[in-house]
Structure 1
Amino acid sequence: MNFKFKETHTFEQRQQDSSKIKAKYPNRVPVVVERHRHSQIPDIDKHKFLVPDDVTVAQFMWIIRKRIDISSEKALFLFVEKNMPQTRIFESTRTYYSLNYTVISIYFNHFSATIGQLYHNFHDDDGFLYISYSGENSFGSGS
């Protein structure tokens, strides 16, 4: 997925920005969140987050849900760009190779993983962690 943030900021700008953030806030993770290009759920109102490294994926997902204001019958899936081999804490995750993304799913017990762990395993060379989200109607249309 091509992140709009990467298209509107040069690599050098992003790298400089993340370096300043990490120097000023060593226990926080710079995260960019964008809707997956094929998703039908609403766009998030804020794309750049500074997240404490001990926040769990479940807690961060709750923040995302609140910011996009999706209904409870909609499933929400988070994806991280796959830029490292699947050999660390996320070796059991399913990878959508055609999308070059790894899904973070409750079915694989990764909601207890922290944003710091995600950052350690999946951060971009520019110093940001890129997360995309998508959803589907998991409980029927309600009609």
Structure 2
Amino acid sequence: MNYFQFKLDNKLSRRSTESSQMLQKFPSRIPIVLEKAWNSRLSQLPKSKFMCPGEYTEQQFVTCVRKKLALGSETALFVFVNGVDLIAGNSLMSDVYNKEKDDDGFLYMVYCEQDVLGGN
């Protein structure tokens, strides 16, 4: 799937070089491109590229994203790998990366919300 804006804005060779450089500089971290889902009402994060510690679980990564978005407890945040797959909260990000990374070396994810507990 090629609906990630980062892919549209950057050629494969540039993306591959960038992820390789990031991995070389920070070998224990995961290069992630995280973009807002097209139908999400959440705010856009100021940047789309992240370096996540490989030992983080998916839930720890989501917690970091929640903080960056300043979400209250009434809003559930969902993160989908490659825009379609939910992953278990206890999955290690390094395992997700090794299984789901793109040919360019990045792990692509999208985020969206779901109101809970009577929210709108």
Contact 1:30/1:128 (8 A) holds in 2: yes
Aligned with 2:110 (options 123, 132, 135): 132
Q: Which string of whole-angstrom CA distances, capped at 9 and with x for unpartnered residues, describes residues 31-55 of structure 1?
A: 0111111112222222111111111
- The answer on 1:114 being equivalent to 2:92 is yes
CA–CA separation in structure 2 for the residues paired with 1:25 and 1:126: 17
Q: 1:33 maps to what in 2?
A: 34
SS in 1 for 2:61: helix
Larger Rg: 1
Q: 1:51-90, aligned counterparts within 5 Å?
A: 51-81=52-82
What is the alpha-carbon distance in structure 1 between the residues aligned to residue 25 and residue 67 of structure 2? 27
Distance in structure 2 (CA, Å) of the matches to 1:40 and 1:21: 31
The more displaced of 56-65 and 40-49 is 40-49
Q: Which amino acid aligns with 2:74?
A: E
Matched residue of 1:26: which SS? coil
Indicate if the aligned counterparts of 2:75 and 2:119 stay in contact, CA closer than 8 A: no
> Per-residue deviation at 1:130?
0.7
Unaligned runs of 5+ in 1: 82-99, 105-109
| Structure 1 partner of 2:119 | 141
Structure 2, unpaired ranges of 5+: none
The share of aligned pairs that are identical, in percent, is 34
Aligned residues between the structures: 119
Conserved? CA contact 1:35–1:133, under 8 Å: yes
Runs of 4+ in 1 over 2 A off after TM superposition: none
What is the RMSD of the two structures over their aligned residues, measured on CA atoms? 1.5
Q: For each residue in 1:108-135, what CA deviation from the matched residue of structure 2 results, as whole angstroms up to 9, or x when unmatched?
A: xx21111101101110110000110111
